[in-house]
Amino acid sequence: MSELGDDTTVVRSAEGWSATMNPRWNVGSAPHGGYLLALGARAMLQAGERADPLTVTAHFVKPPEPGPVTVATEVVRAGRRYTTVAAALRQGAAERVRLLGALGELGGQRGPTRVAAAPPPIPAPEDCVTLGGSSAPEVAGRFDFRFPEDSPWVVRAGAPSHGEPLEVTGWIRLADGSDPSTLALLVFSDAFPPTVLSMRHVGWVPTIELTVHVRAKPAPGWVLGTFRTRFLIDGLMEEDGELWGQDGRLLAHTRQLAVVLER
């Protein structure tokens, strides 16, 4: 098993599924959004008897606390190619996350392939650097990151000039050495520093909604994440992301809508 496998274990219960959220996935006092997404998706996969999330949407209703959580699941429709499942993460009567997804088997899809994109050309992980800093949240200990030496996160050059997209690109893997899974891709979708962190006066960036399309099973090794914000409008921003394998295959396509709270 792995930290992620252990900490997303769900067992059948009167409310559907029960789990315990480990505080090692915390950002501040609340579990990290990607971890909540993976935990919910794992219950959905078990309820739908499917192997992989194809697309999962999470609405983060209210920050949970670590500890016991229940996941109520509803199989909306079981089709041949995929199964649609809804889910609700609750602590007591308080709903924390609402999810909706289509689940299936990534190896079992059949049809045409036509790819017109490539991963961004950044140095290999061994030619990148780690991020220092003792202010990292607890969850940062679950990941290894490698960033190009000239990225704003490393040189602290400040925000890109107005008119340029806010971007963050780097390598990620699970810190415990376990191989990435499609559940890990859900976690990686919300694991990188927010794109707006290089802007001044940005405090916290709570996610309203996060949708991840999982497009391929990851191979062992590093995963390249690239995230971009082009539209911050009246305090709402999108963060558009891609996760790529070291072999150049697209693994996941992500988008979230988030609120930018100023300090």
Sole binder of a copy of itself in the list 2, 55, 70, 182 (CB under 8 A): 55
Of 91, 109, 181, 226, the residue at the interface with a copy of itself (CB under 8 A) is: 109
Contact between 117 and a copy of itself per CB under 8 A: yes
User: Contact 66/80 with Cβ under 8 angstroms?
Assistant: no
From the CB of 231, what's the least distance to a copy of itself, in Å?
5
Give the binding range for a copy of itself (CB under 8 A) out of 8-16, 104-112, 131-139, 184-192.
104-112
Q: Are 6 and 36 in contact (CB under 8 A)?
A: no
Residues 218-237 that bind a copy of itself (CB under 8 A): 229-236
Query: Could you say whether residue 93 binds a copy of itself (CB under 8 A)?
Result: no
> Shortest Cβ distance from residue 90 to a copy of itself (Å)?
11
Rounded Cα distance, 254 and 241, in Å: 5
Residue of 23, 42, 37 lying closest to 98 (CA atoms): 37
**Residue 95 binding a copy of itself, by CB under 8 A:** yes
Burial of 219 (0-12, 13-18, 19+ CB in 10 A): middle
Bridge partners of 171, per DSSP, are 146, 224
Question: 121: exposed, middle or buried (C-beta count within 10 Å: 0-12, 13-18, 19+)?
Answer: exposed
Asked if 92 interacts with a copy of itself (CB under 8 A), we say no
The answer to whether 213 contacts a copy of itself (rule: CB under 8 A) is: yes
Stretch that binds a copy of itself, among 2-10, 18-26, 38-46, 156-164 (CB under 8 A): 156-164
> b or e along 46-56 (b: 16 or more beta carbons within 10 Å of the residue's beta carbon)?
bbbebebbbbb
Q: Tokens for 74, please give them.
A: 């509803």
Window contacting a copy of itself (CB under 8 A); options: 44-52, 137-145, 157-165, 168-176 = 157-165
Distance separating alpha carbons of residues 37 and 205, to the nearest angstrom: 17
Question: For a copy of itself, how many residues bind (rule: CB under 8 A)?
Answer: 58
Among 43, 216, 223, 243, binds a copy of itself (CB under 8 A): 216
* Segment near a copy of itself (CB under 8 A); pick from 10-18, 150-158, 171-179, 210-218: 210-218
For a copy of itself, the binding residue among 11, 124, 155, 261 (CB under 8 A) is 261
State the Cα–Cα distance between residues 149 and 126, nearest whole angstrom.
Answer: 11
CA angle 11, 16, 22 (to 5 degrees): 50
Nearer to a copy of itself, 51 or 199 (CB): 199
**DSSP secondary structure letters along 148-164:** -TTSHHHH---SPPTTS
Interface ranges with a copy of itself (CB under 8 A):
54-55, 57, 59, 61-62, 76-77, 81-82, 84, 86, 88, 95, 98, 100-102, 106, 109-117, 162-166, 199, 201, 208-209, 211, 213, 215-216, 229-236, 238, 250, 253, 255, 257, 259-262
